[in-house]
């Protein structure tokens, strides 16, 4: 489902070029779960942005379901994120003018995959039933994170990319959210890539890779 092939990424800085990723390669098949760990600044978030088609590598290739992303137009990349990629980043990116219920359904509607029964299950399991008529600004950070996760899962994406998805949640809720993600993978054959600082959460996934100074170790 996802292939990262000899990827290198460098950014210009006032002190000169800064190489954030160096010759990184791995593959993630349908139905597989993978934890990506490493210290702050090791390149984890940069790698997630490349996998999400939000940026392009300087060298190497990102391949999604057999299709290299290097030749994809901005419109094709946006269509991919709208329909087949599920993104959970540290910024919630909820639509401030929409209530929680509409935010939850937003991605699924765009993808043409809104399923009321699945939507109701997500609302129940994420503990959002009492929040549906609120706006994002009326929620705590942890509540907004649960809405953002529910919005992503509602569309049943082929690949879920999650950057510290439980970082704003207490331990028990974080465990429940990860269980929900793993349930979706088991049900649909989605692939799941998660950045986490938690060895305990990483241990629940099938594989673990560690980045150090931009290289896999």
pLDDT tens string 153-173: 898 899 999 988 887 778 888
Q: How many domains would you assign to the chain? A: 1
Higher pLDDT, 149 or 97: 97
pLDDT of residue 170: 83
Q: Residue 144's domain is classified under what CATH number?
A: 3.40.50.300
Tokens in use for 147?
């809405």
pLDDT tens string 82-117: 889 988 887 888 999 999 999 999 989 988 889 999
pLDDT tens string 4-14: 999 999 999 99
pLDDT of residue 197: 86
Lateral strand order in the sheet of 59-64: 18-28, 2-11, 59-64, 67-68
Average pLDDT, the chain: 91
Which residue carries 């160096």 as its tokens? 22
pLDDT over 90 (residue 29):
yes
d(CA 178, CA 47): 21
Which domain does 84 fall in, by range? 2-216
Query: Residue 202: pLDDT band by 50, 70, 90 thresholds?
Result: very high
pLDDT of residue 16: 92
pLDDT of residue 139: 93
pLDDT over 90 (residue 40):
no
In the chain, how long is the greatest CA-to-CA distance?
A: 54
Of 83, 81, 32, the closest CA to residue 191 belongs to 32
d(CA 7, CA 61): 6
Lateral strand order in the sheet of 85-88: 85-88, 159-163, 191-195, 33-37, 207-212, 215-216
């Amino acid at each position: 489902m996802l292939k990262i092939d000899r990827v290198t990424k460098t950014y210009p800085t006032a002190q000169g070029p800064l190489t954030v990723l160096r010759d990184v390669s791995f593959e993630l098949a349908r139905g597989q779960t993978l934890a990506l760990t490493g210290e702050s600044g090791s390149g984890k978030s940069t790698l997630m942005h490349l996998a999400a088609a939000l940026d392009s590598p300087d060298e190497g290739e990102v391949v999604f379901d057999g299709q290299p992303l290097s030749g994809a137009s901005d419109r094709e990349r946006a269509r991919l994120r709208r329909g087949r990629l599920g993104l959970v980043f540290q910024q919630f990116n909820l639509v401030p003018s929409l209530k929680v219920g509409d935010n939850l359904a937003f991605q699924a509607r765009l993808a043409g995959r809104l399923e009321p029964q699945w939507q109701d299950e997500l609302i129940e399991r994420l503990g959002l039933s009492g929040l549906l008529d609120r706006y994002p600004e009326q929620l705590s950070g942890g509540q907004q994170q649960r809405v953002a996760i529910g919005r992503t899962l509602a569309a049943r994406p082929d690949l879920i990319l999650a950057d510290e998805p439980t970082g704003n949640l207490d331990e028990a809720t974080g465990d429940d959210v990860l269980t929900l993600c793993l349930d979706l993978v088991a049900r649909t054959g989605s692939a799941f890539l998660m950045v986490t600082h938690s060895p305990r959460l990483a241990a629940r996934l099938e594989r673990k890779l560690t980045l150090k100074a931009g290289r896999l170790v």
